[in-house]
Amino acid sequence: MLWPRTFGQEVDAAIVAGTVFDASHAAVVDAKVTFIHVATNAATEVRTNEHGEYRTPPLQIGEYEVGVEASGFKRFDQRGRYGTLSF
């Protein structure tokens, strides 16, 4: 019988992955997704691939404001109490 080992570790970073869709649920290619760390104002930008998917490098744990923009679309921002991403 195998037993997995677990170790108590403090995590200081996380990777965020997601998909950007339009109103018809079609993937949005080459959209710019920006994460701004609220406490430090540090910005991280990533682009969606041919499937509308994105993945960030490791981000510092904390609250983030998120913005998405793409050619032909209105910019989308998540800000404020119910619009911040915390991890």
Given this model, what pLDDT does residue 87 score? Answer: 45
Please name each of the domains of the chain with its CATH number: 13-86 (2.60.40.10)
Q: What is the pTM of this model?
A: 0.80
* Sole residue written with tokens 């989308």: 76
Q: Which residues contact 1 (CB under 8 A, 6 or more apart)?
A: none
64, 58 in Cβ contact below 8 A?
Answer: no
pLDDT in tens, the chain (87 residues): 555 555 556 678 889 999 999 999 999 999 999 999 999 999 999 999 999 999 999 999 888 999 999 999 999 998 755 554 554
